[in-house]
Structure 1
């Protein structure tokens, strides 16, 4: 009887919490569905559509208490769930498939782009948060990386704007690259292996890598996708190292008044899924299901981030920020192309 008495308030609390957040979660989910519909029927990038739809619904956050709690939950918790489930696609076999030269080129591209982004941000008068956010998203996996990195960066009054701008920027540039880079690889006379490494090592988002690679040939598409998965696997180590650096320097954002954990829960889940998948313990059907759930969680979270961002603030982004993400994109393209010419 005592156990039942203690349990009932918790159950009521769960239902009250669900009643508070479901309207906002529902709106974000519907926005994600609409974005995927536009992508499937008109070829528009789903991530970009989710962000734009979210921006158009910003009034729901300003409207008061009805939708704001659920939108906040989607922008934070659902986001972290989506990043964690990305680990289900990672298998350490991909490192062996292409050899350590290609892996070294991918890691070198990440490190070089981060250093370049930091220097470029300083020369353009941009802050270190934007430098890490844009360079990390450009060098790892586009919008997914931007949202994972933003989850551990200390927040300020420009955090939502910078995240929305970065998601918009990398998605747009990735779409342009999907069209331009295959033409460039053909003009340069790259082999199938070189083309796959170049496309997978430079285009920001997974969907655009797949589109670009298979538009050239099936072998190029398979190589590009494998290289892209190597880049995606860099996300968890990067976020871990960033978290440790922020803690050490005292800049990490506190969680419930306490220091944040050394290893964020969603990064632990990412690494755990990657390890289990590498051991062959995740059936193909389950892997596909987890990947689909990750995709929908990310779309829902991006829609929520859009809803939390005032479009006027996006339009007020300084041209230096636009130049920063553009030159980072050009830099990693040049770095990987040079590496492909020498190493592959």
Structure 2
């Protein structure tokens, strides 16, 4: 047997395992109850991976290690690139300059708050802080998974961050419609369905959660929420480029991640998959691809992302999550409160200021 073929076959057992878990997660996500509660395939894939990883997986971890690692790294990057097919540059025009500014301010303020509090107040390591901050400020689990290679976060750190996204994103999809109806009843703040959609899209963690919250209010709210959310998703690429440059210029003494970075003579490592994400979104904006092809590509992307999540779960030990303690949850709680209260203030004040200046 040729050496190249033998080397390739080493990946097969791990790919079959994560593929089976991903397929199971996608099928489960389509069941009515889980669909109603917006529990998506990515969340289910990581949960299934954790269950298998902490029960029977250690028995055949050696045989599947190559494929699992490949899924967690290479397939993840490819999945992030294809994720660009979810949106177009034309989406930006539908929320306007003010909507884009709201997204940007929410992102920067939330991530900045995570940086400010993560280590100083809650005593978290920098990688966990960055991952929780990215997940809360941009697009949930997808942002965590995209940021993990840039900060070289460990599997358990990424899983902790994803867990916080699941908890507070799920809470948000129930809380936001309740707040809208309560405000409508008491007429405290002016908020149309359009304004609520931008509020939901600019502050709720996951795309599916933002859509679910918007749908509970109305069709127009749901449409606006998904556009505002996808504009926020588009900010993932420049965020990763800036974060990569910042990490290189601010090495943390004693950190394995940044000891490696220090050896690269302060060279900025460009996360090319982030550039690919923007390029795919830009190409998708030209509407040159047949819609059936785009639909198929999105299905492939969903599978790749689910496989990466399953691989992450398989390599995550519950004991490591337990050892992280209450501190990551505490940071995520503060960020969630900021997204609701601070995000609401930004959504109310920025259009008012823009109106003053005729924007």
**TM-score normalised to structure 2 length:** 0.86
Counterpart position of 2:229: 228
Counterpart position of 1:128: 126
Compute the displacement of 1:297 (Å): 1.1
Counterpart position of 1:5: none
Deviations 1:164-193 (A, max 9, x none): 111122022211211111111221223101
Superposition misfits of 4+ residues, deviation over 6 angstroms:
257-261
Q: CA RMSD in A?
A: 2.1
Aligned counterpart in structure 2 of residue 274 of structure 1, from 281, 289, 300: 281
Aligned pair in 2 of structure 1 residues 314, 338: CA closer, same or farther (>3 Å)?
same
- Describe the SS at the equivalent of 2:287: coil
- Once the two structures are superposed, the pairs formed by residues 40-79 of structure 1 within 5 Å of their partners are 40-41=30-31, 42-43=33-34, 44-58=39-53, 59-61=56-58, 63-79=60-76
Instruction: Point out where structure 1 has 5 or more consecutive residues left out of the alignment.
Output: 1-8
Compute the displacement of 1:132 (Å): 1.4
Compute the displacement of 1:312 (Å): 1.6
- Once the two structures are superposed, the pairs formed by residues 1-344 of structure 1 within 5 Å of their partners are 12-41=2-31, 42-43=33-34, 44-58=39-53, 59-61=56-58, 63-121=60-118, 122-155=120-153, 159-189=154-184, 190-249=191-250, 262-344=269-351
CA distance in 1, matches of 2:226, 2:145: 21
Deviations 1:53-102 (A, max 9, x none): 10112242564421111111111111111111111223111111111111
Aligned pair in 2 of structure 1 residues 135, 278: CA closer, same or farther (>3 Å)?
same
Contact 1:61 1:308 in 2 (8 A): no
Contact 1:117 1:328 in 2 (8 A): yes
CA distance in 1, matches of 2:168, 2:9: 39
**TM-score normalised to structure 1 length:** 0.89
Q: How many residues align?
A: 330
Compute the displacement of 1:127 (Å): 2.1
Contact 1:236 1:271 in 2 (8 A): yes
Contact 2:42 2:309 in 1 (8 A): yes
Instruction: Point out where structure 2 has 5 or more consecutive residues left out of the alignment.
Output: 185-190, 252-256, 352-359
